[in-house]
Structures are given as structure tokens and as C-alpha cells.
């Protein structure tokens, strides 16, 4: 556990020095300005999408930027010859990325309170943000390992984002019948947005449980079966 | 001395479609010695080192570390291992102090790295981002990083590469001091000067195969020519002759030179390790 905190501390410092945290905060600042400028009702309707974009899709970009800096410097190899396991190292990296989403959530929560005097339930929001970020980070790692370089990743990312948004569009246009809507949950972006919407418009309990299970599914399958073996392989070859 | 590593029939290839980069390697590395792994670029030295530091687990054959199979050892194995990679690996936007503090925090045992930084000439650059360092400074920081946990076994890949003679001297002195403390040091290099000065035993590898294992001295005896080169002045002209060292005192020409000419220089013709390196690695694959 001591190793995890040491690695996380190092990761936080690294993300700050490489200006990845700063970039994340600048993006958050855009959301804060939007929230402050619109009415309370508009802010409440926008928040699930904003939180989804920030903790899901932005997290992938920030993770990729941090990864390519590290790959360039080959530093992961140096950590692997220290008495710490690749699992702990990966956990620290994921926790570092997660922290960015959590900070952003608190800033948004605080802005809602300061500018509109309303608060959304922070603890359930925190839980959903963790799930949304983890599911998107697991996809982010898959994209990283399937890409040659950062540019290649950006191209693939654009394509994947399009695919992730198709279910949201189809559901909003009511193209998918209600009885088949669960299929849209295969998109973690749709599942994330649905879970976050629950903070304002409660879902039926069984719908909420299924949504959460889909969100848990991605990281539970991808991290141990694909990300971790690739993480080790890539770290050594860097 | 007991064996630290016992390597038997080690084979390694990066993927199933490729040829083996390490082939049927058999090697013993004794505790407390400086062992040189030598060979031309792409010979399989770094791959062998990566196997020995458990970075490449998918090898064939057997590797024992202190009598235990390497594959069975846990991450605590690294508490006593220090690794200096050939290409310095640092977080370039962090200072030297931040880099060392981060890596040091991963070990139970720690040294006072500040005094070591001062010794290798980086004392004043400790709070400077590593990205602003020269190649030589990064190499020296890389070396300090390898010693952070006061390791019992030290792996150094080209430790003096890119260093000026005075800084290379400091690094070599520290390596010799570490050896005196009873540590085992494995050096991967193609700089024969370092090998001659530092190594107790060397192994030559080319194309993934072990070609020869010996002490530098015995290699010189084996491959060296017992000859002497004499430069002398003969009627205002500088001349030179190479004579056999054995029976030199009775050699007619030598006696004549001594009697009739002024000797300018006289050097034994020891074969350098550079020549031995070329001869050994070129003999089989040249």
C-alpha cells in the first residue's frame, strides 16, 4: 500500500509538471463558465452531458497524453525494476487519472452552489464519476495499445467517440424501441450519461442496476484481460 | 565464491515468428565479482540482462538466482537489485532531486543520494529539471539512480558511455568501491578499456551465442603474442623491429642493437582486449 501512495504521489507530480492537470483544469474552467452563464434549469439539464464529457471522453485524451510522454522517456521500464508490481503501478496511474475527474466534479458542484444556490447529491455523483471514468479509461488504454502514436490514437479516438455517441443519438431520436434500449448500454458513454442523469431524473431501480453493471463490466473485463498484459509488454519495450 | 546466477540453456526470442536472440546460453556469475557481458551491438547482451533482471519472463531454459529459479521470485527480488539502463530513463520535466526522491520511495533501503550526486558532479544541478541536463549529466544521474537502494547486485549497461575521462574515472572508482563492499556487478559494454580495468571475468556474446568466458588476464595470455617492439636509432634513422619475448637476451639481432645502436623505446606487444574482442567475435561470425 505504501508503494501505491508513493507511485500515486509521483504520478500527481508528473501530471502537474507535464501540464496535463493544467490542461484538464482549463477544460473544466470552460464547463464552469457555461454553468455560471446559463439558468439553473438549463444547467441541470446540461450537467449529465458535461460530467460525461469531462470524466469520460476528456479522461481518455488526458490519459493518452500522459502515456505518450512516459513512453517517450521510457520511465515505466525503470519503475518495473523497482520492488513494485505492474498491477500497483497501473492502479496508481488509473488513480491519478481518476483524481482529475473527481477534482473537476467538485469544481462543478461548487460552481452550481455558488452561482445557482443548488446542490446535486455529491456522493452518488462521485460513485458514478468513478465508474464512468474507469470504464472510459479501460477503453482509453485499449485505444493506446492499438495505436502507433498519438496522432494515430487521435484518429481512432474520433472514430470511437462517434460509435459511442450513436446509441445516445438513436435513443434520443427514439429509433431504438424501449424494449431494446438495454443494447445502447454497450456504449459506456450512453451508460455513463444514463447513470449521471439519475442524479436529476431518477431511473427505475432495475434500470439503474443494469446501467451500473454495464459500467462495471468494461473495466472488470478489459483491465485484467487486455490492459494489464499489454501494459507490462509496452513498458518493457519502451 | 558461490554462484549468484546459474544460467543453463537459456534461449530467448521476442516473438514466435522471430529467431532466437539468445541461444543456448550457459553461464555462471559468481557473487562479489564484476562480470562483463561483452559483444557487438545486437549480440543479445541487453536481452540477456533483461532476462536476468526479470523484465523478460518468457524465456526457455533455467536461470537460478542464489539457487532459486528466477521465475519463482517475487517483486522483493528488486529490493537488492540496481539497474542502470543504457539509455538514461528519467522524468525530464522533474528535477534530479524529484526523480531520485520518487524512485527512492519505492525501496525499503535508501541511501543518502545527495552526497553521491555531489561526488558525480551533479550537486549544483540537483534542483534543475533533468530535461536541461547534458547527455553526460543524464548518464551520471542514471548511475546514481541505480545505486539508490544500496543494491547487492548492480546491472550497468554501458555505464561510462558518453562521459568525459574525468567523469568516467569517478564512475569507475565508485564501481570498484561497490565491489569492495562485496557487491556483484554485471556490466554490459563494448568499451574494452572499462572491461580491462573493472572486470574480474568476462563473457563474449555474438549473435546470441556465448563464445568465450574467461578473466581478462587469461584472455590476454591466450590471445596475446609474447613479443617486444624495439625502436632504435641507426645512423640518424629511426628503425623498429618486433622480436620474440622468449629468449630475448640471447637473440642475435637484439644483442647487436644493444651493442651498436641507441634504443629509443621498447614495448611488450600485449594484445589489447580490443583486438581480442574483434578476434573472438569475428572468428565465428566474421
pLDDT digits 0-9 by tens, B99-142: 999 999 999 998 999 999 999 999 999 999 999 999 999 999 99
Ordered alpha helix ranges (H), B16-95: 45-52
Spatial distance between the Cα atoms of B254 and B230, rounded to a whole number of angstroms: 9
Spatial distance between the Cα atoms of A104 and B273, rounded to a whole number of angstroms: 62
Q: To probe the interface with B, which of A12, A17, A82 has the most B CB atoms within 10 Å?
A: A82
| Residues facing residue B267 across a β-bridge | B229
pLDDT at site B286 = 44
Residue B53 touches partner A, C-beta closer than 8 Å: yes
Mean pLDDT, range B90-101, rounded to an integer: 95
In 3-state terms, what secondary structure has residue A9?
helix
Asked if the Cβ–Cβ distance from B145 to A75 is below 8 Å, we say no
Cell of A44: 441541470
Range from B24-33, B38-47, B261-270 that averages highest in pLDDT:
B24-33
Q: Is the pLDDT of residue B35 over 60?
A: yes
pLDDT tens digits along B213-222: 999 888 877 7
CB A81 within 8 A of CB B78: yes
CB contact residues (below 8 A), chain B span 92-111, against chain A: 92-94, 98, 102-103, 105-108
Asked if the Cβ–Cβ distance from A78 to B106 is below 8 Å, we say no
Residue B41 touches partner A, C-beta closer than 8 Å: no
CB contact residues (below 8 A), chain B span 129-158, against chain A: 145
CA B182 → CA B1, B80, B133, B154, distances in Å?
A: 11, 13, 32, 11
CB contact residues (below 8 A), chain A span 84-113, against chain B: 84-85
Q: Is the pLDDT of residue A2 over 80?
A: no
CATH architecture of the domain formed by B3-220:
3-Layer(aba) Sandwich (3.40)
pLDDT at site B170 = 96
The strands making up B227-234's β-sheet, listed across from edge to edge, are B237-244, B227-234, B262-268
pLDDT tens digits along B197-250: 999 999 999 889 999 899 988 887 777 777 888 999 988 889 999 998 888 888
Question: Comparing C-alpha atoms, which of B145, B133, B125, B93 is closest to residue A14?
Answer: B93
More confident residue, A96 or A236: A96
Q: Give the ipTM.
A: 0.85
Residue A73 touches partner B, C-beta closer than 8 Å: yes
pTM (2 decimals)? 0.84
Q: Is the pLDDT of residue A142 over 50?
A: yes
Contacts of A15 in chain B (CB under 8 A): none
CA R_g for chain A: 18
**Mean pLDDT across chain A, nearest whole number?**
91
Q: Is the pLDDT of residue A238 over 60?
A: no
* Shortest CA gap A238–chain B (Å): 10
Counting other chains too, the contacts that B17-21 makes at CB distance below 8 Å and 24 or more residues apart are: B20/B208, B21/B47, B21/B208
**Mean pLDDT across chain B, nearest whole number?**
90
B267 pLDDT band (50/70/90 cuts)? confident
> How many helical (H) and strand (E) elements, i.e. helices and strands, does chain A have?
11, 0
Q: Is the pLDDT of residue B149 over 60?
A: yes
Contacts of B77 in chain A (CB under 8 A): 83
Amino acid at each position: 500500500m505504501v508503494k501505491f501512495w508513493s507511485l500515486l504521489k509521483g504520478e500527481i507530480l508528473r501530471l502537474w509538471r507535464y501540464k496535463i492537470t493544467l490542461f484538464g483544469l482549463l477544460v473544466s474552467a470552460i464547463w464552469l463558465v457555461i454553468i455560471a452563464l446559463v439558468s439553473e434549469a438549463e444547467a441541470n439539464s446540461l450537467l449529465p452531458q458535461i460530467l460525461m464529457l469531462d470524466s469520460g471522453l476528456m479522461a481518455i485524451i488526458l490519459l493518452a497524453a500522459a502515456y505518450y510522454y512516459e513512453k517517450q522517456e521510457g520511465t515505466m521500464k525503470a519503475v518495473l525494476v523497482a520492488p513494485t508490481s505492474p498491477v500497483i503501478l497501473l492502479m496508481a496511474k488509473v488513480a491519478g487519472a481518476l483524481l482529475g475527474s473527481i477534482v473537476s466534479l467538485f469544481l462543478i458542484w461548487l460552481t452550481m452552489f455558488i452561482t445557482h444556490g443548488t446542490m446535486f447529491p455529491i456522493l452518488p455523483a462521485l460513485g458514478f464519476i468513478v465508474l464512468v471514468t474507469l470504464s472510459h479509461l479501460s477503453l482509453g488504454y485499449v485505444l493506446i495499445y492499438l495505436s502507433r502514436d498519438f496522432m494515430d490514437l487521435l484518429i481512432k479516438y474520433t472514430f470511437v467517440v462517434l460509435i459511442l455517441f450513436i446509441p445516445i443519438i438513436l435513443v434520443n431520436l427514439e429509433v431504438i424501441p424501449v424494449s431494446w434500449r438495454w443494447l445502447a448500454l454497450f456504449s459506456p458513454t450512453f451508460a455513463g450519461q444514463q447513470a449521471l442523469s439519475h442524479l436529476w431524473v431518477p431511473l427505475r431501480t432495475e434500470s439503474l442496476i443494469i446501467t451500473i453493471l454495464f459500467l462495471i463490466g468494461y473495466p472488470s473485463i478489459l483491465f485484467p484481460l487486455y490492459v494489464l498484459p499489454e501494459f507490462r509488454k509496452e513498458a518493457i519495450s519502451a | 565464491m558461490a554462484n549468484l546466477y546459474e544460467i543453463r540453456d537459456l534461449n530467448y526470442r521476442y516473438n514466435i515468428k522471430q529467431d532466437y536472440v539468445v541461444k543456448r546460453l550457459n553461464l555462471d556469475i559468481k557473487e562479489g565479482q564484476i562480470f562483463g557481458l561483452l559483444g557487438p551491438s545486437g549480440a543479445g547482451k541487453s536481452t540477456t540482462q533483461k532476462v536476468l533482471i526479470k523484465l523478460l519472463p518468457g524465456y526457455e531454459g533455467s536461470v537460478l538466482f542464489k539457487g532459486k529459479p528466477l521465475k519463482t521470485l517475487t517483486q522483493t527480488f528488486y529490493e537488492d537489485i540496481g539497474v542502470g539502463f543504457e539509455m538514461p530513463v528519467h522524468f525530464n520535466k522533474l528535477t534530479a532531486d524529484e526523480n531520485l526522491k520518487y524512485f527512492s520511495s519505492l525501496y525499503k533501503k535508501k541511501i543518502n543520494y545527495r552526497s553521491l550526486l555531489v561526488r558525480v558532479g551533479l550537486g549544483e544541478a540537483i534542483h534543475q529539471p533533468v530535461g536541461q541536463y547534458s547527455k553526460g549529466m543524464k548518464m551520471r544521474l542514471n548511475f546514481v539512480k541505480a545505486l539508490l537502494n544500496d543494491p547487492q547486485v548492480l546491472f550497468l549497461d554501458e555505464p561510462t558511455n558518453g562521459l568525459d575521462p574525468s567523469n568516467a574515472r569517478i564512475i569507475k572508482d565508485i564501481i570498484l568501491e561497490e565491489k569492495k563492499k562485496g557487491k556483484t556487478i554485471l556490466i554490459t559494454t563494448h568499451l574494452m578499456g572499462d572491461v580491462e580495468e573493472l572486470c574480474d571475468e568476462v563473457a563474449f556474446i555474438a549473435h546470441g551465442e556465448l563464445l568465450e568466458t574467461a578473466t581478462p588476464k587469461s584472455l590476454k595470455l591466450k590471445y596475446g603474442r609474447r613479443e617486444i617492439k624495439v625502436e632504435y636509432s641507426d645512423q640518424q634513422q629511426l628503425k623498429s623491429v618486433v622480436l620474440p619475448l622468449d629468449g630475448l637476451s640471447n637473440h642475435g639481432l637484439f644483442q647487436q642493437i644493444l651493442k651498436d645502436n641507441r634504443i629509443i623505446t621498447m614495448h611488450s606487444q600485449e594484445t589489447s582486449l580490443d583486438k581480442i574482442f574483434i578476434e573472438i567475435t569475428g572468428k565465428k561470425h566474421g
